[in-house]
Amino acid sequence: MSSLTAPKTPVAPLTAAQRSPGYWQSVGTRLLADKVAMGAGFVVLLLLGLALFGPWLAPADPYQSSMLSRLKPIGTVGYPLGTDELGRDMLSRLIVGARLSLFMGLTPVLLAFIIGSAIGILAGYAGGWVNTAIMRTIDVFYAFPSVLLAIALSGALGAGIFNSLLSLTIVFVPQIARVAEAVTAQAKGRDYVEAARASGANAFTIVRVHVLGNVLGPIFVYATSLIAVSLILASGLSFLGLGVKPPEPEWGLMLNTLRTAIYVQPWVAALPGLMIFITSIAFNLLSDGLRSAMDNKG
């Protein structure tokens, strides 16, 4: 299996009744009634707030080191969450690190959503030899496990933020393209598409008016489930020295630099991992809630 976790079944393309405002209102109502999803959404909003306003919320300079204050325990006066191996304030680095960590997790999925959707919709609607050529090429990348493919691409391209983003985007494009192709092939057989084709509408108009609005929702829901995977993979690349470079505060890189302190201050060393865990769980629960709200037939 190519993904870090088992792929989830995408939401089916919308019917004519589901395209009505009433359907989306009912989706919103069911989502708001899902306390788990709303709790996860609150956590996600909190993390996005840290990413946006982190530099102003941080109580200290996340880059300021002090060898006299290195590896202070949690609860130390002036250092609520202790200090790292260079004496830098952990609370400040975790807050500021949310920006780069979320950027590395969200950007590849967003780019893959755009590219993969375009490729999958083209393959799904065109069919025939176009579909075969595109999807067999996609299968070449999809055959590799996500972790190994990300490491191989990052190792070949070299360390750095841009190369990590490019590697992760390439990893997720095949996964989203496969989903996009599947839901587009289903939508192409709907009655309203057949009616538009019979009326003489060209392929571009049919895709723009009748297909896009019905398949982008399911593709987007699937893409949201990849955010947690992207965050973990990006952190893993930084941990291996293939992603973000020091001294930037990024949770995966912080885990790498603190690994030697695991026997001295294990709780301090575990804090970046805890942030990665909380963030990935929050995005997963929110994605599951959105999928359940859209799949509800009642």
How far apart are the C-alpha atoms of 109 and 166, rounded to whole Å? Answer: 11
User: Do 211 and 187 meet the contact criterion of CB atoms below 8 Å apart?
Assistant: yes
Regarding pTM above 0.85, the answer is yes
User: Do 59 and 92 meet the contact criterion of CB atoms below 8 Å apart?
Assistant: yes
* Cα within 13 Å of Cα(89), Cβ side: 16
How far apart are the C-alpha atoms of 253 and 97, rounded to whole Å? Answer: 10
Of the two residues 53 and 3, the one the predictor is more confident about is 53
Residues 259-294: pLDDT tens digits? 989 889 999 999 999 999 999 999 999 999 988 888
- Token digits of residue 297: 């037939």
- Confidence band for 3, pLDDT divided at 50, 70 and 90: very low
- DSSP per-residue letters across 141-181: HHTS-HHHHHHHHHHHH-SSHHHHHHHHHHHHHHHHHHHHH
Whole-number pLDDT of residue 15: 55
Whole-number pLDDT of residue 193: 81
Residues 84-117: pLDDT tens digits? 999 999 999 999 999 999 999 999 999 999 999 9
Most confident of 10-14, 191-195, 200-204, 272-276: 272-276
Q: Give, as one character, the DSSP assignment of residue 87.
A: S
111-147 in b/e form (b: 16+ CB < 10 A) is: bbbebbbebbbbbbbbeeeebeebbeebeebbeeebb
* CATH architecture, domain 34-295: Orthogonal Bundle (1.10)
- Token digits of residue 52: 């946006």
- Confidence band for 226, pLDDT divided at 50, 70 and 90: very high
- 10 Å Cβ neighbour count for 27? 18
- CA 26-32-33 angle, to 5 degrees, is 90
Least confident of 3-17, 91-105, 125-139, 249-263: 3-17
User: Do 282 and 40 meet the contact criterion of CB atoms below 8 Å apart?
Assistant: yes
How far apart are the C-alpha atoms of 225 and 238, rounded to whole Å? Answer: 21
- CA 224-229-235 angle, to 5 degrees, is 130
- Token digits of residue 61: 């300079």
How far apart are the C-alpha atoms of 166 and 171, rounded to whole Å? Answer: 9
- Confidence band for 136, pLDDT divided at 50, 70 and 90: very high
Segment holding 232, helix H or strand E: helix 227-239
Whole-number pLDDT of residue 202: 83
Whole-number pLDDT of residue 21: 60
Q: Where are the domains of the chain?
A: 34-295
Residue found under tokens 């893409």: 223
Residues 142-169: pLDDT tens digits? 888 889 999 999 999 988 999 999 999 9
Q: Roughly what angle, to the nearest 10 degrees, separates helices 128-142 and 90-126?
A: 150
Nearest alpha carbon to residue 2 among 119, 155, 140: 140
Residues 52-77: pLDDT tens digits? 999 999 999 999 999 899 999 999 99
- Token digits of residue 121: 């919709």
Whole-number pLDDT of residue 159: 87
